[in-house]
Structures are given as C-alpha cells and as structure tokens.
Amino acid sequence: MNFRLSRIQFFLLLFIMQSGSSFFSFPSPFITATGRDAWLIFLVAGVLHYLLLLFYERYYQRFTIGPFVGWLYKGYWLFIAVTYLAYIDYTLAVWGFPKTPQFIVLAALVSVSLYANLSRAETIINLSVILIPLIFIFVIFLQFAWDDLTWTNIFPIGESTEKEWLIGLLKAQVAFIGIELYLFFRKHVDVKEEIKGFPLFVYQMLWFSFFFFSVLITLLYFTLAGIQAIPEPLLYILKSQELTFVERIDLFFLYIWMIWSIVTVTILSFSALYVHRLHANEHQKRDTIIWHVLLVFLPLFFLSKKYIEILNDVVIYVHLLFSVLIPFIVIIGSRRKKK
C-alpha cells in the first residue's frame, strides 16, 4: 500500500487512535486504582509515554516485520477492536439505546469502516479531520462544570503506596494504546517534514494535556467514593450540566463519541489490513469484508459487564506486549541482522 502522510496527518491519526480507544473509559478505573494521587501518577506516566515516543523515533527504521509478527499484530488489533467495540456497544446500550438490538448498533458502527477501507487510503487518513471541531466542543462543554469543581479534592498528596503507584502506572497504559502505530506509519511521513525534536514534543504535550485534563476534572468533580460508583464520569459530568438549549448534553456527546469510535475502528482496521497487505496482496476486497464481519460478530460474545471488565483488564498486558516487548525484540533482531 503506497501512501504519503504529512506531519499533521500522522499525528492526528495517532492522536485519534490513542484517544478514541480509551478517553471515556480511562479516568474511572485509573483513579479508583490510584486514589487522590492519580494526577501525580499520570505526570510520571506522561514521562514514560514521551520516552517511548523517543525510542520509537530513534529506531522506527529498524522495525521491519515478517509475516509471523504481522499476523501477531493483526491478532492484537482485532483484539483491541473487539474490546473497544464491545465496550462502546455496552455503554451505548446503557446510556442511549437500551432497546435497540446490539448487533444493529455494531453493524452501523462497523459499516463506515468497511466503506472507508474499501476506498482509497486517503479517505481514512482524512476521516480524522471531522473530529477536530467536535473534540474542541467536547472540551469546552466540560468547562461548564467549573463551578462544581472542588479543588481540595486533589489533596493531600503522597498518600498512595508503592503498590498503588505500580498499579496506577499499569492502568495508565490504557491511554497509551495505539502508540504502536507510530512504528508502522512513521516511514510514510514526508521526508521533508521534521518529526524529531519540537514537533514530537508538541504531540506529547497534546496527548498529555488531553488525558491529564480528563483525570483532573474527574478528580475535582467527584469524591473518591463517587468515582467508584460511576463508570463513565465524563459522560456523567455532561449529563449533570443544565443548559438552556439542550436537555441531555450527554446524549449529544455520546453521538460525538460514537463518531470518534467509528473513526478509531476505521484506523484500527486500516492498520490491520495495511500489515496484511504487506505479505498477502491478493483478495484485498474479500479480506476486508471478512475482517469487518469479524468486527460485527466477535464483540457480541462480550457484551456484559463481566466480560467488559475482563477485557479492559487484559488489554493493558496485551498492549505492553505489542507496544514495548515485541517492538524491542524486532528492533534488536534487525540490529543484529544488520551487523
């Protein structure tokens, strides 16, 4: 598959992938596991994220994969997509569409990805642009909760134990999911455009600010006991806002999140099919359809609270394997081959 990315397209692709798969689901389990020090722990997690980006930037050219590793990544992205689709379908069933058959919602979500992936690569790359104004609106509307924030909620600091820090750093990995796309698409960025140094730092700060804001606003709005009772704190904050022009602002953002999810699933599918075509270039249309059929049917097996929780716990460890361990092994392996 031959395509070129500008620096902005590349970072946007990465940002949508990282935020879309976890933004709403991230704050509650992270704060529940870490307590009042969640914001401090996320500061450290932010440094780790930057170090990982620097590592990727330095060695991305050595990340060349064979069919076996390619199949591993396809399996990984299928797992991520299924986990994510099951989660959003469950949330939509609770908040918005309790009576709608869940396979209809799934089919509607996945069908856009099918259409985009049957089209040219540029369609998918530019699809993320529609989210830019929506993300801004989302952040602005969250500011309406300003009067209800209790700043003393983030104190006292330093109460978390070593174990809580460790669990916190693990839970923070949910916000990293999708970072591995850097290794796959970095080489498609126009060589004339600089990534190293300041542009990469700007992306890091953008990612960090976005997730840090979600952690901070949740901590300031809810008590620790309250967060434990509410699985979707950001949606809940939006639901509690009283605006003159819209009765249920949370529903409005549920639809934004749905679009966000659709774009994320499209990018995930694009990545998996991109890797697939590196080693199997025949029957492109058939393989694209099979992939999307799997995306509609596999999540149907995990649409209960129990399975959603299991998948959300497991995804952290699977992510560490595919964003840290396997890239590390592949990069070291390529270095030896070169020698």
Give the binding site for another protein (CB under 8 A): 94-101, 104-105, 107-108, 111-112, 115, 118, 148, 150, 152-153, 155-156, 221-223, 225-226, 229, 239-242, 247, 250
Alpha helices (H) in 222-248, listed in sequence order: 224-229, 233-239
* Least spacing, CB of residue 104 vs another protein, in Å: 6
Place of tokens 């591993």: 72
Q: What gap in Å lies between CA 232 and CA 25, rounded to an integer? A: 7
Instruction: Write down the least CB distance from residue 117 to another protein, Å.
Output: 12
CB of 9 to another protein, least distance (A): 23
Please, which residue, 175 or 238, has the CB nearer to another protein? 238
Quick one: 156 or 197, whose CB is closer to another protein?
156
What is the closest distance, in whole angstroms, from the C-beta atom of residue 336 to another protein in the complex? 47
The nearest distance, CB 221 to another protein, in angstroms, is 8
Report the nearest approach of another protein to the CB of residue 4 (Å).
24
List of residues 6+ apart from 13 with CB closer than 8 A: 5, 125, 128, 181, 185, 267
Copy the structure tokens of residue 111: 């069908």
- Residue number, 107 or 139, with CB nearest to another protein: 107
DSSP for 64-126, written as a single string = ---HHHHHHHHHHHHHHHHHHHHHHHHHHHHHT-SSS-HHHHHHHHHHHHHHHHHS-HHHHHH
Q: For the chain, how long is the longest CA-to-CA vector? A: 67
Please state, in angstroms and rounded to a whole number, the distance separating the CA atoms of residues 43 and 40.
5
Q: Toward another protein, which CB reaches closer, 214 or 266? A: 266
Of 251 and 324, the one with the shorter C-beta distance to another protein is 251
Q: Tell me, what amino acid is at 283? A: H
Would you say the C-alpha torsion 227, 228, 229, 230 has a positive or negative sign?
positive
| Closest by CA position to 188, among listed 274, 261, 262 | 274
Q: How far is the CB of 91 from another protein (least distance, A)?
A: 10
Residue closer to another protein by CB (options 115, 328) is 115
Compute the least distance from the CB of residue 116 to another protein, in Å.
10
Nearer to another protein, 148 or 309 (CB): 148
Please identify, using beta-carbon distances, which residue of 11 and 221 lies nearer to another protein: 221
Helix ranges (DSSP H) in the chain: 7-20, 27-34, 38-59, 67-95, 102-118, 121-127, 131-142, 162-171, 181-185, 198-221, 224-229, 233-239, 249-279, 284-297, 305-320, 326-338
